[in-house]
Amino acid sequence: MASVENLTHTSTIINVDPKFISTLEFKNAENIKLISQPLLWLHGIEDDYVAINNGELIFANYTGIKGVPIRVEQANHGDIPSTMGYENYIQTLVDFIQNN
């Protein structure tokens, strides 16, 4: 999640104050700028819990040595492995680890 504000505005169907959703502060869209390690970003395009633009904002702010974005067609929240197929999903992880 990029931030509570972004999550509230993109993933709720009603207009509410972000503090109604959470009093926690997560500033992942800013904090990612501090990460230099390789990053594999997987997100389901059809995610109806955390809208994909939350992850896209974080990935856009990543300035590390190597970023690999994977937007998974037809995947919802939490079903990326089954949507990709478990073997393909595991191979994607293995390839990323071995090449970084």
pLDDT tens-digit series, residues 55-100: 999 999 999 999 999 999 999 999 999 999 999 999 999 999 999 9
Helix (H) or strand (E) holding 21: helix 18-21
Report the pLDDT value the prediction gives residue 13, as an integer from 0 to 100. Answer: 66
Q: Which residue has the higher pLDDT, 48 or 79?
A: 79
Band (pLDDT 50/70/90 cuts) for residue 18 is low
Q: Three-state DSSP class for 91?
A: helix
Q: What is the pTM of this model?
A: 0.76
Burial class (CB in 10 A: 0-12, 13-18, 19+), 26: middle
